[in-house]
């Protein structure tokens, strides 16, 4: 049973991510948790709210959230009437990252699927504020779907790595099963001008091979010293359908996940982006 959280702010980008989730897991029995965290909707009201009115405003916002979730449920089941899929609707008065992490812990969630940007949809940035927070702090894999991305099967996946990270078997299992469902090729890209691997790197590469047996693996290297340029070129030149990276301390991804860095490097990802969290659960 696949367990998937799909946060929503009821924007078109959020619904597009939900559509992608239904398609990419169409072969699996899946529980979807469509989550709307509405604390910000209450606290960011334009008018000053007295304490006496706060509970009333929370109730009104909750009812509005429930109604929108029901409408979303009807729409997605019309789009994808899959008997293998079950939809759970959750309105929560809390912050998005906290509510997702609570679900991760209580429901043993496998993956979060969300749009790269939400309702504000600022095209000058790669990731919206909520998505950035989820990528950095949620304790399970996150699959971010670009605006208006039209679904097609992820047959070609790019997984850049320096093989220095001791990967987590659970996270790699998700990638293995996903790639197995579509008979995908995972392109392992080593970005380093010093091409010789250490013994640690060789061991981590061996662990990857062991855990990703359902996929076709290719191992390639590039002497391009700038990782962002190397990744971008590889995506373009090899028709990559999904980018996979690992979030761990001192990783290239950690550096990228600071908004100023993303804005500077201009890595505007046009394909789904799967972030594996190198965290114990």
Angstrom CA distances, 168 to 8, 41, 98, 100, 226, stand at: 28, 36, 23, 20, 26
Angstrom CA distances, 187 to 159, 208, 230, 238, stand at: 6, 12, 13, 10
Q: Specify the pLDDT at position 259.
A: 45
Stretches where the chain sits below pLDDT 50 are 124, 250, 259-266
Picking from 54, 143, 39, the residue whose alpha carbon sits closest to that of residue 91 is 39
Give tens-digit pLDDT for 132-180.
Answer: 888 888 989 999 999 889 999 999 999 988 888 778 888 899 999 999 9
- Angstrom distance (rounded) from CA 274 to CA 45: 33
- Kindly state the tokens that stand for 29: 């029995």
- Angstrom distance (rounded) from CA 222 to CA 191: 5
- What pTM does this model have? 0.88
Q: Specify the pLDDT at position 226.
A: 79
Q: Are 112 and 71 spatial neighbours (Cβ–Cβ below 8 Å)?
A: no
- Angstrom distance (rounded) from CA 152 to CA 51: 49
User: Domains along the chain?
Assistant: 2-145 (3.40.50.620), 156-268 (3.40.50.620)
Backbone angles phi, psi at 133, to 5 degrees: -65, -40
Q: Specify the pLDDT at position 42.
A: 76
């Amino acid at each position: 049973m696949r367990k998937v959280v799909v946060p929503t702010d009821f924007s078109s980008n959020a619904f597009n991510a939900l559509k992608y989730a239904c398609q990419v897991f169409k072969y699996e029995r899946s529980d979807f948790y469509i989550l709307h965290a509405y604390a910000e909707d209450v606290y960011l009201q334009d008018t000053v709210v007295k304490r006496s009115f706060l509970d009333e405003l929370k109730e009104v916002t909750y009812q509005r959230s429930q109604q929108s979730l029901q409408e979303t449920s009807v729409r997605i089941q019309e789009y994808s009437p899959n008997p293998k899929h079950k939809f759970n609707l959750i309105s929560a008065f809390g912050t998005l990252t906290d509510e997702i992490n609570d679900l991760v812990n209580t429901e043993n969630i496998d993956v979060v699927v969300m749009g790269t940007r939400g309702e504000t949809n600022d095209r000058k940035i790669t990731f919206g504020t909520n998505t950035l927070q989820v990528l950095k702090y949620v304790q399970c894999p996150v699959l971010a779907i670009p605006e208006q991305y039209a679904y097609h099967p992820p047959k070609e996946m790019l997984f850049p790595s320096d093989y220095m990270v001791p990967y987590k078997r659970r996270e790699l299992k998700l990638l293995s099963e996903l790639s197995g469902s579509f008979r995908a090729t995972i392109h392992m890209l080593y970005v380093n001008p010093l091409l010789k691997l250490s013994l640690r790197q060789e061991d981590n590469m061996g662990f990857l091979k062991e855990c990703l047996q359902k996929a076709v693996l290719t191992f390639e290297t590039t002497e391009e010293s700038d990782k962002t340029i190397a990744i971008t070129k590889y995506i373009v030149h090899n028709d990559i359908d999904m980018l996979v990276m690992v979030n761990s301390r001192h990783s290239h991804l950690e550096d990228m996940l600071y908004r100023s860095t993303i804005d500077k490097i201009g890595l505007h990802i046009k394909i789904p982006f799967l972030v594996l969290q190198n965290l114990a659960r």
